[in-house]
Amino acid sequence: MNALNIRSALVLGLTLALGLAVLGYQLAGAAIEVKQYDRSVTVKGLAERDVISDIVLWPVEFAAAGNQLEELYDLMEQHTGKIKAFLIKSGVAAEDITFLSPSITDKSAQQWGGNERAEFRYTATQTVTVYSKNIEAVRAVMSQLSELGKQGIVFTGDNHQSQTEYIYTSLNQIKPEMIEEATRNAREVGEKFAKDSASKLGKIKKASQGQFSVSSRDRSNPHIKKVRVVSTVEYYLSD
């Protein structure tokens, strides 16, 4: 092999070696960048708010007993009239009051009643339902039912169906603000994590919004609801 060929081979070898070195460096740098780009942190942001219910559903159940069916129906009708008048007088709108038909039980027709004769053959229960947006008026009248009790009306309502229910229907109006607040809170948590780990918080990689929950704030104030949402956000991290 002459000197020219040897020189050419050396140049080609050096060129290939240099090219491979540069390529290796570039690939190594790219690998580092990809690895850094894949670094992320997942955080949760919470938003809570106390709101006042805007609808109350209040079943008022009462009962009576007697031996004459016609007289018992008349008595139940008198009771419903007194209850309705009392509610309207206390600030409840007439259109917010509805009545169910009385439910009558004939104890003499019950096979499981035993041989003991009941004092009254018939018992009746009836429900007056208040469905109102006037929360304050309804809550005020709830504590005054004893006045009707003094007039001989026996109120029941120990069963689950007779429990008062407070409803919040304006959730869609506060959703955007609460989602924004939860996302902002998540970013604050992410920035704190990034600072503690000597990193920088980047753009959002992935985010998911949690379900909104509405529950009574406490037992003493069931008309006050606590609305809660948790957003989960994954951020990129960089050095």
DSSP H or E run through 103: strand 103-106
Q: Are residues 94 and 159 in the same domain?
A: yes
Contacts of 107 (CB under 8 A, 6+ apart): 113, 118, 120, 121, 122, 123
Would the pLDDT of 16 be above 60?
no
Residue 216 confidence (pLDDT)? 93
Residue 8 confidence (pLDDT)? 58
Q: Are residues 175 and 223 in the same domain?
A: yes
Report pLDDT digits (tens) over 158-193.
666 678 999 999 999 999 999 999 999 999 999 999
**Angstrom distance (rounded) from CA 169 to CA 153:** 34
Q: Are residues 130 and 227 in the same domain?
A: no
Q: Are residues 17 and 79 in the same domain?
A: no
pTM, entire model: 0.73
Give the structural domain span for 205. Answer: 40-53+168-239
